[in-house]
Amino acid sequence: MKKGLAFYKVGEMVDGFFLVKSSVKGTASNGKPFLTLILQDQTGDVEAKLWDSSPEDEELYAAQAIVKLSGEMGNYRGKMQLKLKAIRPATELDGVKISDFLETAPLTQEEMVETITQYIFEMKNPNIQRITRHLLKKYQNEFLEYPAAVKNHHEFVSGLAFHVVSMLNMARSFSQLYPSLDTDLLYSGIILHDLGKVIELSGPVAASYTLEGKLLGHITIMVNEIGMAAKELEIAGEEVTVLQHLVLSHHSKPEWGSPKQPLIREAEILHMIDNFDARMNMMDRALDKVQPGEFTDKQFALENRSLYKPLFHAEFAKN
């Protein structure tokens, strides 16, 4: 199997197919145009400069193009940079497609749908169950394809659904240790908490923010959707307000985007499980790229920390 982009060292030769993630034209200090390409595979991405680029090059190597290239991995101002030796667009004969270059969840969409459906099936409170099922069905296609975030954690195809499945499994373990929890409410909150992202973000790949996303945000969007769903399903009762509260408060603090703090036990737990799973995902992805005895890069979403992988993890620990 080919080595992924994330694992090359300075000086190594790179040879293979890559997806152009972005392509920006600039002018060199000698006055000539060049392209700054971000090239990606399933493991990561790297910058490369295409010097003396022609107008045709701009078209051939635009974002979403697949290219075949060879080059040498270098370092520019402390960041990896690929020095191109040869580059050409991929052709149909090459037999490569965009999804080959996108990271994706470790479970299939079918597996994830089945798991989530089972959790909904187990719910005993019909009001909570119906609202959850209604909204999941309404946005199921997008839900199964979107990333959980544009960066930081679970930022891959189907990342949102995978994040929800992990959280549901964690909630089940958790409620076995702390039986006072209302699992109906907690499962529903988990399934709905980030569903507004399918409206906040523009799409499953290379997502940007929509106007609704910028002006309202996924939390407000989903709180509204729950209200509309309840009206459509003719459900009244505290469950509606409480579910809206779970979504509204799941960022926990005003300065993190939740105008109300969690005031329901399951709302607090939802916030903590969300945080736990996101942090595990970020830590694992960062630590996967270093060897025992090394520190990771600074992780912005982990308060800019560099994590250390202990030397003895080479020996005793599973990872």
Interacting positions 121-180 with a copy of itself (CB under 8 A): 124-125, 127, 166, 169-170, 173-174, 176-180
Q: Answer yes or no: are the C-beta atoms of 45 and 73 closer than 8 Å.
A: no
Q: Residue 254 and residue 294: Cα distance in Å, rounded?
A: 36
* Residues between 267 and 296 that touch a copy of itself (CB under 8 A): 268-269, 272, 275-276, 279-280, 283-284, 287, 295
How near is the Cβ of 266 to a copy of itself at its closest, in Å?
9
86 near a copy of itself, judged by CB under 8 A = no
DSSP codes, 260-286: S---SHHHHHHHHHHHHHHHHHHHHHH
220 near a copy of itself, judged by CB under 8 A = yes
The interface region with a copy of itself, picked from 102-110, 134-142, 145-153, 209-217 by CB under 8 A, is 209-217
- Per DSSP, what are the bridge partners of residue 46? 39
Q: Residue 212 and residue 284: Cα distance in Å, rounded?
A: 32
Instruction: Count the alpha carbons within 13 Å of 263 in the hemisphere toward its beta carbon.
Output: 10
Question: Judged by CB under 8 A, which of 114, 260, 291, 300 binds a copy of itself?
Answer: 260
Q: Answer yes or no: are the C-beta atoms of 36 and 45 closer than 8 Å.
A: no
263 near a copy of itself, judged by CB under 8 A = yes
Per-residue interface string for the shown chain with a copy of itself, residues 52-71, x marking contact by CB under 8 A: --------------------
DSSP annotation of 18: E
Question: Judged by CB under 8 A, which of 182, 194, 200, 274 binds a copy of itself?
Answer: 182
* Residues between 88 and 117 that touch a copy of itself (CB under 8 A): none
Amino acid at 310: P
